[in-house]
Amino acid sequence: MSTSANGNGSLSAVRPTEVAKLDRVVIRFAGDSGDGMQLTGDRFTSEAAAFGNDLSTMPNFPAEIRAPQGTIPGVSSFQVHFADYDILTPGDRPDVLVAMNPAALKANLADVPTGGTIILNTDEFTKRPMAKVGYATSPLE
Per-residue pLDDT of the chain in tens (141 residues, 90 and over written 9) = 455 555 555 565 666 667 888 889 999 999 988 788 999 999 999 999 999 999 999 999 877 767 777 778 888 999 999 999 999 999 999 999 999 999 999 999 999 999 899 999 989 888 888 888 888 888 887
Specify if 16 maps to a domain: no
CA separation, residue 36 to residues 13, 15, 60, 97, 134 (Å): 26, 27, 12, 15, 24
Number of independent structural domains in the chain: 1
Specify if 19 maps to a domain: no
106: domain CATH number? 3.40.920.10
Q: CA 26, CA 42: separation in Å to the nearest integer?
A: 14
Q: Which domain holds residue 78?
A: 2-9+24-132
Specify if 68 maps to a domain: yes
Specify if 141 maps to a domain: no
Specify if 139 maps to a domain: no
pTM flag (> 0.85): no
Specify if 35 maps to a domain: yes
